[in-house]
Structure 1
Amino acid sequence: MNLMIVEDSELVRNQILRAISNEPRIRVVCLCEEEDLAVKEIRRLNPDFVILDLSLSPGSGLNVLRRIRCFKVESKVLVVTNNTDSAIERECRSFGISGFFDKSNQFDECLQILFGSLRHE
């Protein structure tokens, strides 16, 4: 599985990398922290999964979702955020994301989606 991580916090990026480090079937194909690069690389790489934070520097994950919807991207997007406002979640879900997770207490659930998908490969 090819995974792209779009997260501006080095601490969170490292947390994700540590959590998947013992799973050789997950290949991190790109790490980025900003909107424009994320859009470019999602379009170019079309990874199986994207872990996407909504707060990027510069830009926003919500704008990434808006911008990639016009491409034929088949990536499953897992949004991880500290902004768990229900209106934001609804907007993200309107773009067809595969999951919406609160960084503070649902990190394991996000990882379960990744690891669970490996059983279907």
Structure 2
Amino acid sequence: MKLRTYIVEDNATIRENLIAALEELAEVESVGIAETEFEGTDWLTRHTTQWDIAIVDLFLRQGSGLGVLAACSQRLPHQKIVVLSNYATPDVRTRCAQLGVDAVFDKSNEIDALVDYCIDFSAERKSTKLNRSAGS
């Protein structure tokens, strides 16, 4: 089962390349995209059982990824929120941690780490499901 991923990113080129890379390398299925804080917040909070991981940029066409992160603070226990930003400074990482973000990746040099994170999360989810079904 593929990891259902929702992406909040306003740059179409980055978004399309990210989706293609994740689908090819990490068994990820894109379930939707947003370019603004409102679109991302609205979809993620209305479709609470339809995503496993949200990848959020901080600087959007309208609003901020920080608003999306805050809106998802009450997500389901198995869901992950990660930030992918050009501004992954120590201060930004601290603020993201305060908002309950699971990981922060820098767009310029940590895309491979994001792919690895998705691969690991997908493997963890499969293992958890196998353990549950074996215990039945």
TM-score by length of 1: 0.89
Partner of 1:60: 64
| Structure with the higher fraction of residues in helix conformation | 2
Partner of 1:85: 89
Partner of 2:116: 112
Write out per-residue CA displacement over residues 16-59 of structure 1, whole angstroms, 9 at most, x where no aligned residue. Answer: 11112336942211111100110111112231100100011101
Write out per-residue CA displacement over residues 60-100 of structure 1, whole angstroms, 9 at most, x where no aligned residue. Answer: 1012112332xx31231110001122112101111121110
Partner of 1:50: 54
Kindly indicate whether the alpha-carbon contact (under 8 Å) linking 2:8 and 2:57 is maintained by their aligned counterparts in 1.
Answer: yes
Cα 1:58/1:23, change in 2 over 3 Å: same
Identical counterparts, % of pairs: 27
Amino acid in the other structure paired with 1:79: V
Secondary structure (helix, strand or coil) at the match of 1:54 reads coil
Unaligned runs of 5+ in 1: none
**Number of residue pairs the alignment of both structures matches:** 119
Kindly indicate whether the alpha-carbon contact (under 8 Å) linking 2:55 and 2:84 is maintained by their aligned counterparts in 1.
Answer: yes
Determine the C-alpha separation between the residues in 2 that align with 1:68 and 1:49.
Answer: 11
Bigger mean CA offset, 23-32 vs 5-14:
23-32
Cα 1:68/1:107, change in 2 over 3 Å: same
